[in-house]
Amino acid sequence: MTMGAADVVPGVSGGTIALITHIYERLINAIDNVSLSLVLQLFSANRKAAWTKLDGSFLGALALGIGTSILLVTGGISWLLAHYPIPLWAFFFGLILGSAFVLKNSVTNWNITAIMMLFFGTCIAFGIGLISPSQGSENLIYLFFCGLLVVIAMILPGISGAFILILLGAYGTALEAVMQIKALQLKGFIVFAVMASGGLVGLKVFAKLLRWLFTHYKNTIFAVMTGFLLGSLYKVWPWKEVTQYYTNSSGEREPLSAVSVLPDMLNPNAQVTLAIAAFFLGLIILFLLERLSKNKSDA
């Protein structure tokens, strides 16, 4: 459910949560093991062995938690983004900064290659945060490829799937689809099915690549992912100044691009005290999650 909540927020990645809760490699391996033949075996006499090979209990619980969270949390996250954006971003800033600190300990050898990959990952994530969003399209083929790219971003720590949706101009479409599904409207189910199909394709292909990289270049991959987290901090900095607006399909004026600025300490609207409290709350929750999951994995 925490992964689902993170994936809803532009700038935050569910992959980050998977890493700090020590399920990331298991998730990648389980996704890579999924195949049509194994799925078909679930309906045969060999279903128990197929379920075990698929790590079905793990994937099923994870998918149920993520899906439930997205349906339940979407409205709340949208409300917080509209009314309390500064504390919300400060919370995730603390969560991601703490995640980078935890993940760096997974790099067993800080050699020149690892340091270069850390810098490379930081630059990539920072560069993505500087890209100006497009206004996108509601064409189903376009939404299929949006789903493909978004799911790849979702499983990469520090690369936000929701932010990729914003860059592609499909974030509003995705949120609207979730609300339409809640209202049992057919259009929402169609949009979800198309984007989910693209996501499944991207997930399967990318999981195979990640599994190979973890097998052969684990130290380097952890260094790159630490860089992704550090580079994404610019995107979730709480205080921003909007530089460009656009008009959405409903005729409403919304921010298109913004730059990070220092807070005005004397301005009550900057909510500095609330932001600091939210920042430390993010750190505390991160370390509680990490400690709890580490104890579980050790057990």
Q: What are the tens digits of pLDDT across the range 237-295?
A: 888 887 766 565 556 666 666 778 888 887 888 889 999 999 999 888 888 877 776 66
Burial of residue 151 (CB within 10 Å: 0-12, 13-18, 19+) is buried
Q: What is the per-residue pLDDT across 123-134, written as a single tens digit (0 to 9) for each? A: 988 887 777 666
**pLDDT greater at residue 81 or residue 190:** 190
Could you tell me the pTM of the whole model? 0.73
Residue 265 neighbours by CB distance under 10 Å: 8
Domain housing 17: 2-298
Per-residue pLDDT, 118 = 93
Long-range Cβ contacts of 282-288 (<8 Å, 24+ apart)? 282/90, 282/91, 282/92, 282/93, 282/94, 282/95, 282/96, 282/98, 283/94, 283/95, 283/97, 283/98, 285/95, 286/20, 286/94, 286/95, 286/98, 286/99, 286/102, 287/98, 287/102
DSSP, res 267: -
Q: How confident is the model at residue 206 (pLDDT cuts 50, 70, 90)?
A: confident
Q: How confident is the model at residue 135 (pLDDT cuts 50, 70, 90)?
A: low
Work out the average pLDDT over 201-224: 86
Q: What is the per-residue pLDDT across 27-82, written as a single tens digit (0 to 9) for each? A: 888 888 888 888 888 888 888 888 988 898 999 999 899 888 877 877 777 788 77
Q: What is the number of domains present in the chain?
A: 1
User: Residues 60, 165, 161, 256: what is their CA dihedral angle, to the nearest 10 degrees?
Assistant: -150
User: Residues 88, 92, 97, 98: what is their CA dihedral angle, to the nearest 10 degrees?
Assistant: 110
**pLDDT greater at residue 109 or residue 130:** 109
